[in-house]
Amino acid sequence: FFQAVASPPSSNFLLLGPSGSGKTAFTTLLEAKSSPASKKSQTTHTSQRSTLVTVNLPPDVPTASNRYRSVNDPSLKEAARNPIKYRVRDTPGHGKLRVSQGLSELQAMAQSKDIKTRLRGIVFMVDTAALVDEVTLRDTATYLHDVLLVLQKRAKNGSSSKRTTEIPVLVAANKQDLFTALPPGSVKEKLEAEIDRIRKSKNKGLLDASADSTMYDDEEILGNDDQEAFSFKLLEHEVGVKVEVVGGAVKGDSQEEYGSGVRRWEEWVGMCL
């Protein structure tokens, strides 16, 4: 009945994050690992358009459905011959392009009921060596805040009878190879504190504006409870959207000391499949 048709892979991941964080470098690396024959150049430049690539999950990375598989399982050999594929959409992170591309693609994909465009997860890439800069931190946290707000609205609009599955977010704490890089734990703390500031000032702006205007009617505050400081845990608890911060490096992939390269991000992807 179900014919084995060569259908395109339907697991989509959206790659977001500010300019220069390493999204295109990551995409290029995944492509190179998927087809070692194609010698892609590793040089990147500021992206102006989104691109969609289909890549392989390394056969030894477990997925949600086969996580209890042992290393001796014959299905591992089969997986090596016929790897699981998924699609990554690399988006431009430049401030002027992210609203028209990354965020609007997220909005479209988040609403889509079409299985072919179903969004399995969001990888939000961060340059952990650049976050010490206040302006970069604010810019990064603002972008992440806006992404999480889209997911929160989506979660709240889904009626309880037809529960939508929440889209998880991986904050890929990239460039752990640089000695100036902040460790993932402090990246998480900094982003949470900055998002807290952003939503507090937004909340205040809403209160000031609501006296004489209705234009903010459908605006809402991330995480709901403005008494408690914002945290990713709070968001998961109140809204059901999961955010994980995991360190790694596109440069020096698979080297243990750099948070195992991109391996742990691929493991996160695997758990979404």
Report the interface residues with ligand GTP, using CB under 6 A.
17, 19-25, 44, 46-47, 92-94, 125, 174-175, 177-178, 249-251
Residue number of the CB atom closest to ligand GTP: 93
Q: How far is the CB of 139 from ligand GTP (least distance, A)?
A: 12
Other Cβ atoms closer than 10 A to 136: 17
Q: How far is the CB of 14 from Mg ion (least distance, A)?
A: 13
The H or E element that residue 84 is part of is: none
Residue 29 interface partner, choices Mg ion, ligand GTP, none, CB cut-off 5-8 Å depending on type: none
Cβ neighbors of 64 (< 8 A, separation 6 or more) are 270, 271, 272, 273
Q: How far is the CB of 254 from Mg ion (least distance, A)?
A: 22
Cβ neighbors of 44 (< 8 A, separation 6 or more) are 24, 25, 28
Q: Which two tokens stand for residue 231?
A: 């945290």
CB contact at 8 A, 222 and 149: yes
47 vs 140, which CB is nearer to Mg ion? 47
Q: How far is the CB of 54 from ligand GTP (least distance, A)?
A: 18
Q: How far is the CB of 40 from ligand GTP (least distance, A)?
A: 13
Give CA angle at 2 (72, 79), nearest 5°: 20
79 vs 172, which CB is nearer to Mg ion? 172
Nearest alpha carbon to residue 166 among 154, 176, 157, 177: 154
d(CA 250, CA 24): 10
Q: How far is the CB of 178 from ligand GTP (least distance, A)?
A: 5
90 vs 177, which CB is nearer to Mg ion? 90
Residue 11 interface partner, choices Mg ion, ligand GTP, none, CB cut-off 5-8 Å depending on type: none
223 vs 247, which CB is nearer to ligand GTP? 247
Residue owning tokens 């909005």: 107
Residue owning tokens 């750099």: 258
191 vs 235, which CB is nearer to ligand GTP? 191
Residue owning tokens 């996580």: 67
d(CA 14, CA 87): 8
**Contacts with Mg ion, residue ranges (CB under 5 A):** 23-24, 47
21 vs 63, which CB is nearer to ligand GTP? 21
d(CA 207, CA 78): 59
Rg of the Cα atoms in the chain: 19
17 vs 223, which CB is nearer to ligand GTP? 17
Q: How far is the CB of 30 from Mg ion (least distance, A)?
A: 13
